[in-house]
Amino acid sequence: MKNKFLFTTLFLISFAVLSQEEKQAFKGGEWLRYKMSYSGFLRAGTAILEVEETDLNGKKVFHTKGSGWTSGMIKWFFKVDDLYESYFDKNKVAPYLFKRKINEGGYKKHTITTFNKPSNTAYVQDFIKQKDTTISILEVQDMLSAFYYLRNQDVKNMEKGDEIAIDIFMDAQIYPFKLRFLGKEVLDTKFGDVNTLIFRPLVQSGRVFKAQESVTIWITDDANKIPIKMSASLSVGSLRAELEAYKGLANDFK
């Protein structure tokens, strides 16, 4: 459990999702809360995603927040207190500003990244290392904007085995990220039977996960494309995330 990349990696995987309809999959006021469980029974923590409309340097943008923290017995030996914020274009879902402030078992990170599309650069301010870096980029998403960007993609013609790939910018580096479509399933949830799409992120094995394909996510098969369940086999035990509560959805939740 004491791996500084654990909750960062799971946070990203849990919320990287896809949409198969042209209508907007989200709107200002959307709020999602997830319950994290370790080894199937022990509550490990909570994660919340929320989005609102605001102004940034005279532009109308979406401001999103992602927060996560450990609770119960897990908190006694591995405390997590994470906060992510992203400001991105309302139409193109292109990131302008990304903030990351985390504390994961004593591993701390505090950065602000400013994306400059005209110059194709990302300016990273690292407040822990007290170092500023400028990186050349092309088409990238930050950890939060990726979630909303992918939800608006058209995947209605995807077949089993097809993959979606994007580049994620994190910690002054670019990370290729892929999702493989596995099929459909009617999932039994606290909200009743829910039609879902199943995806498998391709992750790096060895540090946290047992294998490259040890994570599975279930996405609601509707216009919202909400991740409703995630299951991951870890080097020690397993982790599961389940949608616990929601409000402010852009479309009906069927």
Residues paired with 253 in a beta bridge: none
Residue 91 CB partners (closer than 8 Å, separation 6+): none
| Percent of the chain scoring above 90 in pLDDT | 57
For Cα atoms 69, 171, 147, give the angle at the middle one, nearest 5 degrees.
60
Q: What is the pLDDT of residues 120-141, one digit of tens each?
A: 999 999 999 999 999 999 999 9
pLDDT higher for 1 or 186? 186
Question: Which pair of structure tokens corresponds to residue 24?
Answer: 């907007």
User: Which residue ranges form the domains of the chain, and what is each CATH number?
Assistant: 6-245 (2.40.360)
Query: What pLDDT is attached to residue 41?
Result: 67
Output DSSP code: residue 30: -
The whole-angstrom separation of Cα 218 and Cα 156 is: 16
Element (H, E) at 112: strand 107-116
Give the pTM. 0.85
Mean pLDDT of the chain: 85
Residue 233 CB partners (closer than 8 Å, separation 6+): 209, 210, 211, 214, 215
Query: What pLDDT is attached to residue 20?
Result: 38
What value does the mean pLDDT take over residues 144-163? 87
Query: What pLDDT is attached to residue 213?
Result: 57
**92 pLDDT higher than 60:** yes
Question: Which pair of structure tokens corresponds to residue 158?
Answer: 């995807």
Q: What are phi and psi of 95, to 5 degrees?
A: -70, 140
Residue 223 CB partners (closer than 8 Å, separation 6+): 19, 21, 23, 25, 250, 251, 252
| Percent of the chain scoring above 70 in pLDDT | 85
**144 pLDDT higher than 50:** yes
Query: What pLDDT is attached to residue 29?
Result: 97
pLDDT higher for 2 or 94? 94
3-state secondary structure of 95: strand
Going by pLDDT thresholds of 50, 70 and 90, the confidence category of residue 69 is: very high
Query: What pLDDT is attached to residue 154?
Result: 76
Q: SS3 breakdown of the chain: % helix, strand, coil, rounded to 5?
A: 10, 55, 35
Buried b (16+ CB within 10 A) or exposed e, 150-176: bbbbebeebeeeeebebebbbeeeeee
Question: 183 — alpha (psi -120 to 50), left (phi > 0) or beta?
Answer: left
Determine which of 25-39, 224-238, 240-254 has the lowest per-residue pLDDT on average: 224-238
Question: Which pair of structure tokens corresponds to residue 176?
Answer: 């290729």
Q: What is the pLDDT of residues 12-49, one digit of tens each?
A: 555 444 433 456 899 999 999 999 988 766 788 999 99
Going by pLDDT thresholds of 50, 70 and 90, the confidence category of residue 105 is: confident
**67 pLDDT higher than 60:** yes
Q: What is the pLDDT of residues 170-208, one digit of tens each?
A: 889 888 888 899 999 999 999 999 999 999 887 554 444
Spell out where 127-248 has E strands. 131-136, 163-170, 173-189, 192-201, 215-220, 227-233, 238-247
Radius of gyration over every alpha carbon of the chain, rounded to an integer in angstroms: 17
Query: What pLDDT is attached to residue 207?
Result: 44
What value does the mean pLDDT take over residues 217-225? 92
Output DSSP code: residue 234: B
Going by pLDDT thresholds of 50, 70 and 90, the confidence category of residue 79 is: confident
